């Protein structure tokens, strides 16, 4: 099994942490994590890919082991996070790569694809939304209200997402056997979002999330014109991004492969082997394997 390296580099003056495994000459896949976690969510997936692929999994600025400047010192938007990710991939010399996106990783990944469509060899979305169909309104109502009118009337509702109960809910809700999900996951994430000043970082991204929605038509056009291979492997019980969001990719992506699995938002925690099986089969068909 290939070793996983934990590295750091400086991008636009900010220290960015990333996990890297596999041979640099192998087909590349970039794993982009969601809220409120980090590349930690891919800790068990990376070794399952690294024998055949060059795997890169960064921590977004403000998350994991990357720098987390205060919101007063850095303008946290998804545009800015995508720019830093692009800078990292440029430093690493990745001229072509597949993307695996989940939650926040999706709008970051979509920006990478729209800016440099020629670099994208394949797209894998695991509960990473790209369609209005995917929004579960009961979850998103408070986020939209806060984004439209940030202030004391709307902020308390979204602040609850930073509490340990809400983070635990993201991990275990919709999982048929919650005992499969390690408490290390939500305790790890809660500790990081509880760092002094990180609440304001997360609130800034909550406010900016509505600016991802106008990208969706551009994404759909990219899927139609590029015919990039797409795999959607999705926890069908997710009440943040529902299964309709997975099925929607088949409208625009040619021969999209869609799998709905009896799990929740963080599918890798309960169904790692299932996801890895679909992922390795898909990548083998569309990218080949190292040395092939």
Q: Which residues contact 66 (CB under 8 A, 6 or more apart)?
A: 14, 15, 16, 17, 38, 58, 59, 60
Given 14, 265, 271, 289, the catalytic residue: 265
User: Rounded CA gap, 232 and 222, in Å?
Assistant: 16
Measured between alpha carbons, how far is residue 273 from residues 40, 48, 161, 171, 276 in Å?
17, 9, 29, 17, 5
User: Rounded CA gap, 219 and 131, in Å?
Assistant: 9
User: Rounded CA gap, 234 and 127, in Å?
Assistant: 5
Q: Which residues contact 116 (CB under 8 A, 6 or more apart)?
A: 86
The yes-or-no answer on residue 188 being catalytic is: no
Q: Could you tell me which residues are beta bridge partners of residue 241? A: 135
User: Rounded CA gap, 154 and 150, in Å?
Assistant: 6
Which positions are annotated as active-site residues?
A: 265
């Amino acid at each position: 099994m290939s070793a996983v390296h934990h590295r750091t580099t400086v991008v636009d003056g900010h220290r960015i942490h990333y996990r890297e495994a596999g041979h640099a000459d192998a087909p590349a896949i970039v794993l982009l994590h969601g809220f409120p976690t980090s590349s930690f969510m891919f800790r068990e997936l990376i070794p399952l890919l690294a024998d055949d692929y060059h795997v890169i999994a960064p921590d977004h600025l403000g998350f994991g082991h990357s720098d987390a400047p205060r919101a007063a010192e850095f303008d946290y938007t998804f545009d800015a996070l995508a720019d830093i990710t692009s800078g990292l991939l440029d430093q690493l010399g990745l001229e072509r790569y597949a993307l695996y996106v989940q939650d926040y990783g999706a709008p970051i990944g979509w920006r990478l694809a729209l800016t440099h469509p020629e670099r994208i060899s394949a797209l894998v979305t695991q509960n990473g939304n790209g369609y209005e169909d995917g929004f579960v309104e009961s979850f998103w109502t408070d986020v939209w209200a806060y984004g439209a009118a940030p202030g004391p009337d709307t902020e308390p509702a979204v602040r609850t997402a930073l509490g340990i109960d809400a983070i635990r809910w993201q991990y275990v809700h919709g999982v048929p056997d919650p005992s499969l999900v390690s408490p290390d996951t939500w305790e790890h994430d809660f500790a990081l979002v509880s760092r002094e000043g990180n609440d304001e970082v997360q609130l800034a991204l909550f406010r900016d999330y509505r600016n991802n929605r106008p990208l969706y038509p551009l994404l759909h056009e990219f899927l139609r014109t590029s015919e990039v291979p797409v795999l959607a492997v999705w926890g069908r019980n997710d009440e943040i991004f529902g299964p309709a969001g997975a099925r929607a990719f088949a409208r625009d992506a040619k021969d999209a492969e869609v799998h709905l699995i009896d799990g929740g938002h963080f599918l890798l925690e309960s169904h790692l082997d299932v996801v890895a099986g679909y992922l390795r089969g898909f990548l083998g068909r569309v990218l080949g394997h190292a040395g092939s």
